[in-house]
Amino acid sequence: MTTPRVHIATDHAGMELSAHLVNHLTAKGYEVVDHGPKEYDALDDYPSFCINAGVAVVADQQAGVHALGIVLGGSGNGEQIAANKVKGVRAALAWNLSTAKLAREHNDANVVAVGGRQHTVEEATELIEAFLQEPFSNDERHVRRIGKIAAYETTGEIVE
């Protein structure tokens, strides 16, 4: 598997972790695209940063580029919700190695959300690396389920 392009975004609570991850992942050979913010503002509005990262992941994937995303915040919850509003994004909140790996293996998640206030830098880095390195299983049941989610996202109809 090729190394994915990584789109990253954060809110003010994740800025230190984001800066660490940009440097760490770049040193490991990832192409990292930082969607901001560029400077600390305790009153920032994270949705635009996370939505921009999600839009970029989907655009890359539609263009045939292997891309994944990372959204960070204090808890990661709001950032995950924002990213999931982008059509084609499947953002998963990872809080341990199992959830980080299963997000990719079973759900083919293309964005991971991590709470910077919930983990040490080392723990968060381990979660991110696990997510980025785990392949999708392509198991028929998972493909089928993801297809039903995508059908609802596209048509608004629930497929039984």
pLDDT at 1: 63
Taking only the tens place, the pLDDT of each residue in 35-77 is 999 998 888 899 999 999 999 999 999 999 999 999 999 999 9
Taking only the tens place, the pLDDT of each residue in 93-151 is 999 999 999 999 999 999 999 999 999 999 999 999 999 999 999 999 999 999 999 99
Taking only the tens place, the pLDDT of each residue in 3-40 is 999 999 999 999 999 999 999 999 999 999 999 999 98
The residue whose two tokens read 């049941």 is 141
* Catalytic residue annotation: 79, 106
Sign of CA dihedral 149, 96, 94, 134: negative
pLDDT at 151: 96
